[in-house]
Amino acid sequence: MRPGFRTRFHIETIHDAGGTKAAVRLVAALASAATLAALAAAFLSSEPSSALRAFFLAPFGTEAAFLSTLELAAPLAVCALGVIVSFRAGHYSLGGEGQAYAGSFAAALAAPVLYEALGPASVPLSILIGASAGALVAAPSAIGKRLAGADVLLTSILVSQGVIFAVDWAIGGPFRDRSSNLVAMEALPRGALLPRLAPPSTLTAASIVALAACLAAAFYFDRTRSGAAHDLYGRNQRFAELQGFDVARLSWAPIIAAGVLHGAAGAMMALGARGTAIRGMSGGIGWSAIGAALVAGSRPQALPFAAVLFAWLDSGSRQASILSDLPPDAGQAIKAVVILAVSARPAIAALRRRR
Amino acid sequence: MSAVGSLVAGSLAFMAPLAPAAIGGLATEYVGALNIALEGLILVGAFSYAAAGSIAGPIVGFAAALLSSAIVAAGADLFSRKAKADPFVVGLGVNMLAPAAASILSQAVFDTKGVAVVAGLQSAMALPGLRYSDVASFAVAAAIIAAIAATPFGTRSRAAGMSRDSLAMAGVDYGRVRGAAYFVSGLACGATGAALAASVGAWVPNMSAGRGWIALVAVYLGGKRLGGTVAAVAMFSLLLSAAAAAQAVVELPAELLLSIPYFTAALVVIVGARGSARRSARRRAP
């Protein structure tokens, strides 16, 4: 066995699965999620019918609930897009959690100042600052990869863990709003937040931005030479080099791009329904994003559906825990099992044959 | 106790839960599999210790921690092999499932999804800075080290990591060797989880706090070698102990001090990679 500082492995299931496979995966994920949700309601709640109704109907029961579920999906879709951008280049960055958290903090810090100076025009700038914070957290991994060939998986997780501690301190310490019981920064002025498009739902422009980003990424990967080079680099670096592609740039740029997307997702959370940065607000979004990217078969155009599926599981389990006694963590457990289910190739292959 | 003495004692206390997980990570690395589920497996061990320990005492709790974590690890590997699922993705699933499942079960067992203190489960001190549970945890790590260094299982594991075909030609089933390595990895993470829960005598949600990831990094920092991994664990433990000790001396917040070992380790990975890239370039030069 060769000793070294690099992990040498490929995650086959995270490469572009192709249009049909991505669709089949989505169907498999939806079917397994619905089955598991029904089983969870039946076995984990003493009021199965209320739990079932709350899980399946409440997130879509009213227009406002449906639009709020879409809003919940927006940051997850952007985060998962970051995962696709880095993983399809063969950079297995696991630092999404810290990058998103840093994005939330930076956006919440900048938003009041920018709002005072620029008014409502401050919102895109705040998101830009959040995105820059995500890029900054991703930078050590990108620099390490470019200059030393350091393994992105290791450096990204280490830097992310360190950043999570540092942001925890910042939100709970010097920037904490002492007038609130919540460990959070001061609530942002209404004008500094993403404008709500359809009150009383929480829907903001974040959903439209997320959709546009997914479509732009799909165009990039499917229709541009740079996108093809990006993909080829992820599959075979040497071959990409022989084809004359700029492999030096591809050794770091996708890592930074992923950081930008994760940071922007974090900013969307702070400037969206949350209205500020709250300690621990990233709440596993980095890991859920990897799951969503997998369910989408690494195809950006399938991401909005995967993100809505995960948002439904989050929203459904929350609603079911309020309206019945279903444990609120049921949604997270179902997400994990869905990820396991869609990773099983024979099951997916059987489903494809039936189709 | 002198400053150096307390730093060493502190390092041993940090090392006790970290060492088994890192050795467990190394066991799967030997067969050529990256087990990213260490973090989730530690949580399985910690919860099992608290849950079984609350019913039958700490010794049964410790055994339950080892066994449950090993079963989950071996089950995940079996699923991965039989369903041809990517081990990385399966590991990710385990890491997501473990805290959620523990939270759901915690509500049923302890009637709370938060911190559950269990009377009689906090391990007593065996030596300054070292509890009996830490000693047991070191013993598990030592037993696994002995198994992978000096038994046919270790030899087969290394052979599996080098060449699966050669292993098959020798009539050894790769799947069984890999399954055994995952089982051992689970045992090790169970010991880590039990040591963590026994140090406070409670189940605390997400009490693994990134130790699974640090253990994985230690395996790579140690060049995927036994001695190197142990040395990397010792370095991390010293850093974490120094960060904890610094809280009493330096007026820096705990969270910032705790972030330092992670940034330092990232720097070490980058500098180490630079060094090995230079050495490789020198070897290739005519």
Best to test chain B binding among A340, A342, A348 (most B CBs inside 10 Å): A340
Query: How many domains, chain B?
Result: 1
One-letter amino acid identity for B179? G
Smallest Cβ distance to A337: which of B89, B97, B265? B97
Q: What is the domain extent for residue A107?
A: 12-354
The pLDDT, as a whole number, for residue A353 is 58
| Cα B152 from Cα B150, distance rounded (Å) | 7
- How far the first Cα of chain A sits from its last, in Å, is 43
Q: What are phi and psi of B224, to 5 degrees?
A: 60, 30
CA atoms within 13 A of residue B232's CA, in its CB half-sphere? 31
Cα of B153 to nearest chain A Cα, Å: 16
Q: Which residue of A has its CA nearest to B273?
A: A150
Smallest Cβ distance to B93: which of A149, A340, A347? A340
| Cα A92 from Cα B240, distance rounded (Å) | 26
The pLDDT, as a whole number, for residue B190 is 97
The pLDDT, as a whole number, for residue A2 is 44
Smallest Cβ distance to B269: which of A9, A154, A330? A154
CB contact under 8 A, A150 and B256: no
Residues of B in contact with A158 (CB under 8 A): 213, 217, 262-263, 265-266, 269
DSSP B227-244: HHHHHHHHHHHHHHHHHH
CB contact B259 to A (< 8 Å): yes
Residues of A in contact with B88 (CB under 8 A): 9, 11, 14, 92
Smallest Cβ distance to B93: which of A159, A329, A336? A336
Smallest Cβ distance to A4: which of B83, B223, B255? B223
Q: What is the domain extent for residue B177?
A: 3-284
CB contact under 8 A, B161 and A1: yes
Tokens of B209: 């706090």
Considering the domain boundaries, does residue A1 fall inside one?
Answer: no
Residues of B in contact with A13 (CB under 8 A): 85-86, 89
Considering the domain boundaries, does residue A205 fall inside one?
Answer: yes
Query: How many domains, chain A?
Result: 1
What sign does the CA torsion over B205, A77, A300, A63 have?
Answer: positive
* Strand locations in A25-82 (E): none
Q: What are phi and psi of B131, to 5 degrees?
A: -90, 165
Helices and strands, number each (H, E), in chain B: 11, 4
CATH number of residue B191's parent domain: 1.10.3470.10
**Sites in chain A below the pLDDT cut of 50:** 1-4, 355
**Which CA distances in Å does B234 have to B15, B215, B281?**
7, 11, 30
The pLDDT, as a whole number, for residue A93 is 92
| Cα B163 from Cα B170, distance rounded (Å) | 11
| Cα A87 from Cα A84, distance rounded (Å) | 5
**Sites in chain B below the pLDDT cut of 70:** 1, 286
Cα of A298 to nearest chain B Cα, Å: 13
Cα of B233 to nearest chain A Cα, Å: 15
| Cα B178 from Cα B27, distance rounded (Å) | 9
CATH number of residue A327's parent domain: 1.10.3470
Residue that has been written with the tokens 């391990």 in this structure = B123
In tens, the pLDDT along A213-250 reads 999 999 999 999 999 999 999 988 889 999 889 999 99
Contact between residue B100 and residue A336 where contact means Cβ atoms under 8 Å apart: yes
**Which value, to the nearest 10 degrees, does the dihedral of the CA atoms of residues B178, B182, B183, B185 take?**
140
Cα of A198 to nearest chain B Cα, Å: 33
| Cα A156 from Cα A95, distance rounded (Å) | 5
The pLDDT, as a whole number, for residue A306 is 93
CB contact under 8 A, A337 and B88: no
Q: Which residue of A has its CA nearest to B111?
A: A327
CB contact B148 to A (< 8 Å): no
| Contacts of B100 by beta carbon, 8 Å cutoff, 6+ apart | A329, A330, A332, A333, A336
Residues of B in contact with A335 (CB under 8 A): 96
CB contact B60 to A (< 8 Å): no
The pLDDT, as a whole number, for residue A350 is 56
CB contact under 8 A, B100 and A333: yes
Q: What are phi and psi of B127, to 5 degrees?
A: -140, 165
